[in-house]
């Protein structure tokens, strides 16, 4: 887990107290040091508990961020959100990475790891377009939606690869970044789970695209009430997208 090791090491000087933790159906949020970090919530196992539940706000951000190593993916999401809370927002504000992919992907082979909005716009522009999905219920080979297990066969030869930041929690990010780098593809790590850290550049990303919670209290309230897709329409004035190139 070299990528995770490097991300955790990078936040050590930015430690702070954990102020709040919310695990919603769609998103997990950790508030610490006045900043809100987010991560995708994976399906919650009914038989599984999170370590120290009820006492997570007794921890420091760097301590809670260690949960990202866990194979309990609910814990890993909490850890990734804590890691993100320890990072200052970076990059150009107001830039939606999906618009960049749609524009730059014209006539090219584009692979998206994780399903995002605007896929029809990207599919219409690209020469080839594939979505690699962990959720087997979404697989549709006729529409280019393939199991994430075929990454080694699909990413080679790609021009643009877009990787969801939640792959850090499920431990596939490092391998996907290596595949993309070997393919010579322009690689973007994107989504609310994405750490805005130059560590991702060191591991092969060309751009990172996350978000800044401008109103942490409002965002926490919404994700705690089953807030689903995070976009500027659902969270008006409460978030802003950021795009940071190497």
Q: What is the pLDDT of residues 183-199, one digit of tens each?
A: 999 999 999 999 999 99
CATH of the domain at 85: 3.30.390
CATH of the domain at 193: 3.40.50.11590
Beta carbons within 8 Å of 239's beta carbon, 6+ residues apart: 211, 212, 213, 214, 215, 219, 230, 232
Q: Is the pTM of this model over 0.85?
A: yes
Residues 220 and 196 in one domain: no
Torsion angle in degrees (nearest 10) through CA of 7, 169, 147, 159: -20
- Residue 246 belongs to some domain of the structure: no
pLDDT one-digit tens code per residue, 72-125: 999 999 999 999 999 999 999 999 999 999 999 999 999 999 989 889 999 999
Average pLDDT, whole number, for the chain?
A: 95
Residues 30 and 51 in one domain: yes
- Residue 244 belongs to some domain of the structure: no
List the one residue out of 51, 52, 93, 91 whose CA is nearest residue 239.
Answer: 93
Residues 111 and 201 in one domain: yes
When divided into structural domains, the chain yields a total of 2
Residues 68 and 37 in one domain: yes
Q: Which residue has the tokens 């377009």?
A: 129
Q: Which domain holds residue 31?
A: 2-90+212-239
The pLDDT value recorded for residue 195 is 98
* Distance (Å) of CA 28 to CA 83, 149, 234: 12, 25, 16
Residues 111 and 31 in one domain: no
pLDDT one-digit tens code per residue, 30-65: 999 899 999 999 876 656 789 999 999 999 999 999
Residues 103 and 199 in one domain: yes
The total of other beta-carbon atoms located within 10 Å of residue 127's CB is 11
- Residue 168 belongs to some domain of the structure: yes
Residues 178 and 218 in one domain: no
């Amino acid at each position: 887990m070299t990528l995770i090791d490097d991300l955790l090491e990078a936040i050590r000087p930015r430690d702070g107290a954990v102020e709040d933790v919310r695990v919603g159906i769609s998103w997990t949020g950790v508030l610490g040091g006045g900043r809100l970090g987010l991560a995708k919530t994976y399906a919650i196992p009914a038989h599984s508990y999170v370590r120290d539940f009820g006492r997570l706000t007794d921890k420091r951000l760097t301590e809670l961020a260690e949960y990202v190593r866990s194979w309990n993916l609910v814990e890993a999401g909490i850890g990734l959100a804590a890691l993100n809370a320890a990072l200052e927002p970076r990059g150009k504000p107001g830039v939606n990475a999906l618009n960049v992919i749609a524009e730059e992907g014209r006539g090219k082979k584009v692979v998206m790891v994780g399903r995002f909005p605007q896929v029809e716009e990207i599919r219409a522009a690209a020469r080839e377009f594939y979505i690699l999905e962990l959720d087997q219920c979404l697989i549709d080979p006729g529409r280019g939606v393939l199991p994430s297990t075929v990454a080694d066969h699909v990413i080679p030869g790609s021009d643009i690869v877009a990787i969801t930041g939640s792959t850090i929690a499920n431990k596939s990010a490092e391998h996907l970044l290596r595949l993309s780098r070997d393919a010579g593809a322009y690689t973007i790590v994107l989504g609310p789970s994405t750490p805005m850290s130059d560590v991702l550049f060191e591991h092969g990303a060309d751009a990172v695209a996350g978000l800044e919670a401008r109103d942490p209290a409002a965002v926490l309230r919404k994700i705690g009430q089953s807030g689903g897709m995070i976009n500027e329409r659902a969270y008006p004035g409460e978030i802003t997208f950021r795009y940071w190139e190497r």
